[in-house]
Amino acid sequence: MKLAKFSEHQRHIGIIGQSIHHTMSPVMHTSAFKKLNLDYNYGVMDVTPEMLPNLISSLRTLNFRGANVTIPYKEKVVHLVDEVSEEAKMINAVNTIVNNNGRLVGYNTDAHGVYISLAYYAEEIKNNYVVIFGAGGAARATVYAVAKFFSPKRIMIVNRTLENATAITEEFAPKFRLTKFFSTNDHEVAV
């Protein structure tokens, strides 16, 4: 077994989620840190829901600079950090936590990623119909980005649990009045 060497000045970053043992995030980020000659360590924080509040609180210490947040905690983390960016508030999901001298700030970078990915298709999306599968944190960011930046005529949210899809439509419809929101748990209806 090879033990990792840590320096006292090394900063720690990681990914927080549940059942994420398969993630390639440490390989990707560690390679980038080495290439950029940064003294950072990236780890996996695979936690149960009961452990989440204590884990988030511990990010204020132990040389943690921040963390990525993934399934199923993007929405739960919103209420565990000290401050939430305006965009993360609108989306009601955090995928990035930054430790600013012991103060944890939550951000959502998913929406920007959606915007960049779809910008080329802006004219085709505008005044058209969009179907989004899922009702978790990433889906929330997708709904927000598509509605805000592309103004489709209609957004249909498809999710196995209709109540979760409906909750998103009810939350976002008043924020984006030019777009009609619908929800279903029947993927056949959506397409």
Q: What is the tens place of the pLDDT at every residue in 8-40?
A: 677 889 999 999 989 999 999 989 999 999 988
Q: Which is it for strands 96-100 and 64-69: parallel, antiparallel or unpaired?
A: antiparallel
Out of 5, 34, 74, 175, pick the active-site residue.
74
Q: Which domains are assigned to the chain?
A: 11-108 (3.40.50.10860), 111-190 (3.40.50.720)
Q: Going residue by residue through the chain, which has 191 residues, state the pLDDT in tens, using 9 for 90 and above.
A: 344 555 567 788 999 999 998 999 999 998 999 999 998 889 999 999 999 999 999 998 878 899 999 999 999 999 999 999 999 999 999 999 999 999 999 999 999 999 999 999 999 999 999 999 999 989 999 999 999 999 999 999 999 999 999 999 999 999 999 999 999 998 777 55
CB count in 10 Å sphere of residue 180 = 14
Residue type, 62: L
Axis crossing angle, helix 110-118 with helix 137-150, rounded to the nearest 10: 50
Ordered DSSP codes for 58-119: HTTSTTEEEEEE-TT-TTGGGGTSSEE-HHHHHHT---EEEEETTEEEEE--HHHHHHHHHG
Residues 107, 68: Cα–Cα separation, whole Å:
10
Closest alpha carbon to 28 in 43, 39, 16: 43
**Contact (Cβ atoms closer than 8 angstroms) between residue 58 and residue 64:** yes
76 catalytically annotated = no
What pLDDT is stored for residue 11 in this prediction? Answer: 84
Sign of the torsion formed by the C-alpha atoms of 49, 50, 53 and 54: negative
Tokens of 154: 């209609």
Rounded (10°) CA dihedral 154, 160, 96, 101: 120
pTM of the predicted model as reported, rounded to 2 decimal places: 0.84
